[in-house]
Structure 1
Amino acid sequence: MLHTDLLPRDTAVNLITADGTTVHDEAYALPDADTLLTAYRGLVEGRRINEQANALVRQGRLAVYPSSHGQEACQVAAAMVLGDRDWLFPTYRDSVAVIARGVAPAEALVLLKGDWHSGYDVRAHRVAPQATPLATQLLHAVGFAQAAKHRGEDTVVLALCGDGATSEGDFHEAMNFAAVFHVPVVFFVQNNEFAISVPLSRQTAAPSLAHKAIGYGMPGQRVDGNDVAAVLAVLTEAVDRARAGGGPSLVEAHTYRMQAHTNADDDTRYRERDEVQAWIARDPLLRLRAHLTAAGALDEDTEKRFAAGAEEIAAAMREALNTDADLDPEDLFRFVTTSRSPQLEEQWQLLHGELERDGLAHAAAATNGGQR
C-alpha cells in the first residue's frame, strides 16, 4: 500500500448537504432509500432519547447525562453498520448507539443513574459497558478484536471515542497495537470540537485527527458527522475492509456538541452562543428529513409512526427511572471476589451490625411516636 493511500481527504466526505440535496462522490455511493428511512427513524428516536434523558436529569432521576444531541447521525450509523457477530465499544456519550444496538433504554441508563453495574448483558447485545474514563475502552476493543482473530471469527469491533480521547496515551497504544497486529477494529472518533472546555485547537496541531492514522500505518478518513448517509457509507467501507482482513482504520466524524458536556457543565464559560447557533442549520435530523421528503420517501403518516415509536421509548425510560431501586448493601461485598476474604467478611459484619442497630432504632422511634 502506498503511503498516500493512508491519508484522509482534505475535506470530509459529504453525500447530503445541509439543505437536503445530494452530492455525487466517486468513491462513496448514497445508501438506498430504505436504508436512509431506517436511519431517519433512528435519528428521531435518538433525538427523543436525548430530550427525555435531559428531563430525567432535571427531575433528579438520572445522576448525569452526557447528551449526544446533534451527534445522532454518528450514533445511529455506528449501530447500523455492525452485523450480528460484531461488537460495539462505546463511551459515556453513546447511549443512543447502545439503545440502537438493541439494549433496552432502561438498562442503558442504569450506569448514568448511578448504579454499580453497566445495566445490561454485554454478551447478549455485543455491546461493551459504557466507559467513563477517556480512551480506556479502546484498549479493550483492540484486545477483543485480537482474540476474535485468534479464534478465526469474522467479528469486527467498532470502537467509539471523542476528540478528547485522542489526547490520551491509551488512544495511541490502542492504535499502535491494532496496526502492528493487523486486528479487525475500526476506530470511530466523534470530533465534536470540545474535550469538555478544551477546544480542538488546544488538543492537536495535526491537519485533522484522521491524519494521525498514517503514523501507525493504517488508513484514515474524514466524514461529515452530521450527514448520516456519508457516515454510513464511510463506516461500512471500514467495517467491510476489517472483515475482509484489511486490518484497522480510523474514521473521524466532524460534528458538534450542541449541549453542555453534561448537566454539571456550564458551556457558556468557554464558547459563544453564536457558535452553537451556527450549527443548528447542519442538524442531522432536519437534513435527512429534507432529503427524504424531497425524494418522496417520507410522508406524514411515516413521520407520525416514527414519532410514536420514539414516544414509546421515552415512556419506557420514564417508567424505569421513576421506580426506586431495591438496594441490598451486601452487594458491596458480594461481587468483589469469588470467595469473600476474612477482611471483607469482617467489614460486612461490621456494616451489617450497624444496619441492624439503625433498623431497631428506627422501629423504636416509630413505636414512641417518632421520638429518638
Structure 2
Amino acid sequence: MRRARDIPFRRLRLPSGGESLTDRLWTVRRRWRLLLRLSLATSLAYFIATEVLGHRQAFFAPVAAIVALISGGGARVRTVLELVLGVSTGVLVGELLILGIGRGPWQMALVVALAVVVGTVLGLTGLALTQAATSSVLLTAVVPFAGTGNPAVTRFLDALVGGLVGLAMVLLVPRNPVRDIDREVQKFLTRLALVLNGVAAALRDGDAVRADRALTDARNMQPLVDSMTATANNVAEVARISPLRWRQRAHVQLYTATVIDLDNAVRDARVLARKTSALLRHHEEVPADMALAVDALAAAIGIFADDLSEQDDFEEARGELVQAARMASLALPSAATMNSASIAAQIRSLAADLLYASGYTRNEIDERLEFD
C-alpha cells in the first residue's frame, strides 16, 4: 500500500506574473495541431469552393473553416449548424431585399436590421445571429462578378463547405484529449493542495495573515476552474466524434465526470480558509490535530491526482479522504466554537466532494463518513 508521504505529487510551475518569451514559444509548440488544422482547413475549403464548385469569390469558405475550428471548442458540431443556419437566414433576407431595393448605405442599414429581426424571431442566438447579420452585410457590400451565379447560393455553399472541412480537421487531426484534460486537472489539484497546505500552516502557527493569504489563493483559482471546465467540454467532444480518439473515451469520461465536484471542492476550500482566518483573528483555541487533518486532506488530493492519471480504482485516495475527515471530527473539542466546528465541517465537505469525484454515490459517502 502506498503511503501519502511516499507519493511524489507532481509539481507544475505556476507563473506568478506575465508569460515570458520562452513560455509563449512553448505555447506555440503545443499548438502544432491547431496550426496544422488551420493551414489544411483553410486551403482545402478554398480549393473545394473555387476549383470544385467554381466560386470566384470564395473568401467565406476558409473563414467558415476557421470559425468552426477556433470558435467551436466543445460544441463544434453545433457551431457548424449555427454557422450554416445563420448564413442561410442572412443571405435569404439580404437577397430578397437587394433584388427589390439594390445596394447602398441605407439599403445596408435596412438589410442588417431586418436580418437580425428575422433571425431573432426564428430563435437564432450567438454565432448564428452574428452570421445572419454579417452575411446580409456582405451580400449588400460585395458586388458579385458577372457569371458567378447567385450570391446567396454561393455564400451558403461556402459556409457549408468551410464548416464541414473545419469539422473534418478535428476528426482527422485531433488533439490528445487525455493529455489536455490531465494538464488542466493536475494544475488545479496542485493549486488546491497548496491552498490546503497554507491553511494547515496557519492553524499550526496561529497565523491569521497566512490564512488570509490562503483564502486569496483559493479565490484566485476561478480562472483555473473556468479553463478546466472549457477543456473538459472540448475533450469530451473530441473523444466522442473522432474515431482516432474513441479508445480514450472512458479515460476522458473519468476526468470530465470530476469537474463539477472539483469546482465544489475549491468552494469548500475558500470557506475553510475564511473560517480558519476568523478563528485565528478572534484568538480562539485551535483544536488539537486539526492542522494534521488539513495536511492529510492535501496529501489525499495528491493520491487522487495520481489515480486520475493512472485510471486507478481510487481506493487508496478514498481511504485517505475518509481518514482526513475522521481526524477533523476527532480533533473537534466537545466545547467547540462556531468557527472550529465550521472548519471540521468544511474538511468533511471537501472530502465528500472528492469522494463524489471518485465515483462514490451519496449513500456510500454517508456510510463512509459516519463516525462514532
TM-score category by the smaller chain? under 0.3
Which one has the bigger helix percentage? 2
Q: Which TM-score applies when normalising by structure 2?
A: 0.20
Higher-Rg structure is 2
Q: Which TM-score applies when normalising by structure 1?
A: 0.20
User: Using CA pairs below 8 Å that are at least 6 residues apart, which structure has the higher relative contact order?
Assistant: 1
